C-alpha cells in the first residue's frame, strides 16, 4: 500500500469518480487529525494537507492506492456551528455519498482522544451501520496525554463504546500520527476487512 494518488476532489453530490475497487472513508470533526492520519497510513508526508486552521470547504478527496483500494477523505464537521449554509452543504454531500456510493465498504471514524466519542460521532456511526458499512473507531493524538491519563481514557472510551454497540470493542484503535503508534494495527484491520491483497 504505497503508491497513492489524488484521484479526484469533488464538491457536488453524485459527481464521484468511476472506480471498481473497494472504498474506505475517513471522517471526523475538523482538526481531529484526519489528514495527518491519512498521511501516516499512506506512509507519505504531504499527500493530505495538514492544517492548524479548520477547513472551510465541503469537498471529498478520493485517493487511489495502487489500484487496489480507494480512500476518501470526508469534509470535517463541527467547524462552523453558526454557518448554516456550510453545514447544509456538508450534510447533502456526505449523506448522498454514504447512501449511494456502492464501492463503500468501510468507514473509519476519527476523534481526538481528549474529546472522545460525542453525539456527532455516534450519529455518524449509526448512519454507517444502518447502511451495512463496517466501522472502525480511531482515537487520535494519544501523545497529547500522559501515560496514566491515556490508560484511564482508554478504559473509559472502551466502556462507553461497549455500552453503545455490541462487538465494537475490537474495532477501536488508539493512534498517534506524530509518534507513529497504532497506525500498523489500523492498517491491518482495514486490509482484513476490505481484503486488498
Residues near Mg ion (CB under 5 A): 34-35
Looking at residues 39 to 58 of the shown chain, list those that interact with ligand GDP (rule: CB under 6 A): 50-52
Q: Does 9 bind ligand GDP (CB under 6 A)?
A: no
36 lines the binding site for ligand GDP (CB under 6 A) = yes
Q: Please choose, out of 83-91, 101-109, 137-145, 183-191, the segment that lies near ligand GDP by the rule CB under 6 A.
A: 137-145
Rounded to a whole number of angstroms, the minimum distance from the CB of residue 92 to ligand GDP is 21
**Cα separation, 62 vs 74, whole angstroms:** 9
Find the shortest distance in angstroms from Cβ 63 to ligand GDP: 13
Cβ 38 to ligand GDP, closest distance in Å?
Answer: 8
Q: What residue 105 binds from ligand GDP, Mg ion, none (CB within 5 to 8 A, per partner kind)?
A: none
Which grid cell sits at 124? 455518524
State yes or no: residue 94 binds ligand GDP (CB under 6 A).
no
146 sits in the region (left: phi over 0; alpha: psi -120 to 50; else beta) called: beta
Q: What's the closest the beta carbon of residue 158 comes to ligand GDP, in angstroms?
A: 19
144 binds, among ligand GDP, Mg ion, none (CB under 5 to 8 A by kind): ligand GDP
Residue (22 or 55) nearer to ligand GDP, CB: 55
What HEC string does the chain produce? Answer: CCCEEEEEEECCCCCCCCCCCCEEEEEEECCCCHHHHHHHHHCCCCCCCCCCCCCCCCCEEEEEECCCEEEEECCCECCCCCCHHHHHHHHHHHHHHHHHCCCEEEEEEEEECCCCCCHHHHHHHHHHHHCCCEEEEEEECHHHCCHHHHHHHHHHHHHHHHHHCCCCHHHEEECECCCCECHHHHHHHHHHHHCCC
Rule CB under 6 A: is residue 75 a binding residue for ligand GDP? no
Partner whose binding site includes residue 141, from ligand GDP, Mg ion, none (CB under 5 to 8 Å by kind): ligand GDP
25 binds ligand GDP (CB under 6 A): no
Which residues would be at the binding site for ligand GDP (CB under 6 A)?
28, 30-36, 50-52, 76, 140-141, 143-144, 176-178
Amino acid at each position: 500500500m504505497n503508491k497513492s494518488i489524488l484521484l479526484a476532489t469533488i464538491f457536488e453530490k453524485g459527481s464521484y469518480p468511476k472506480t471498481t475497487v473497494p472504498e474506505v472513508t475517513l471522517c471526523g470533526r475538523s482538526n481531529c487529525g484526519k489528514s495527518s492520519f491519512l498521511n501516516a497510513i499512506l506512509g507519505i508526508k504531504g499527500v493530505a494537507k495538514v492544517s492548524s486552521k479548520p477547513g472551510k470547504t465541503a469537498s471529498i478527496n478520493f485517493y487511489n492506492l495502487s489500484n487496489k483500494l480507494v480512500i476518501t477523505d470526508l469534509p470535517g464537521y463541527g467547524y462552523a456551528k453558526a454557518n448554516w449554509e456550510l453545514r447544509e452543504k456538508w450534510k447533502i454531500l456526505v449523506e448522498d455519498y454514504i447512501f449511494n456510493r456502492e464501492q463503500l465498504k468501510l468507514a473509519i471514524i476519527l476523534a481526538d482522544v481528549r474529546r472522545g466519542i460525542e453525539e456527532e460521532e455516534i450519529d455518524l456511526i449509526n448512519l454507517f451501520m444502518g447502511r451495512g458499512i463496517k466501522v472502525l473507531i480511531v482515537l487520535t493524538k494519544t501523545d497529547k496525554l500522559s501515560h496514566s491519563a491515556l490508560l484511564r481514557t482508554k478504559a473509559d472510551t472502551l466502556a462507553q463504546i461497549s455500552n453503545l454497540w455490541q462487538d465494537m470493542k475490537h474495532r477501536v484503535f488508539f493512534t498517534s500520527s506524530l509518534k507513529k503508534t497504532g497506525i500498523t494495527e489500523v492498517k491491518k484491520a482495514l486490509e482484513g476487512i476490505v481484503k486488498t491483497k
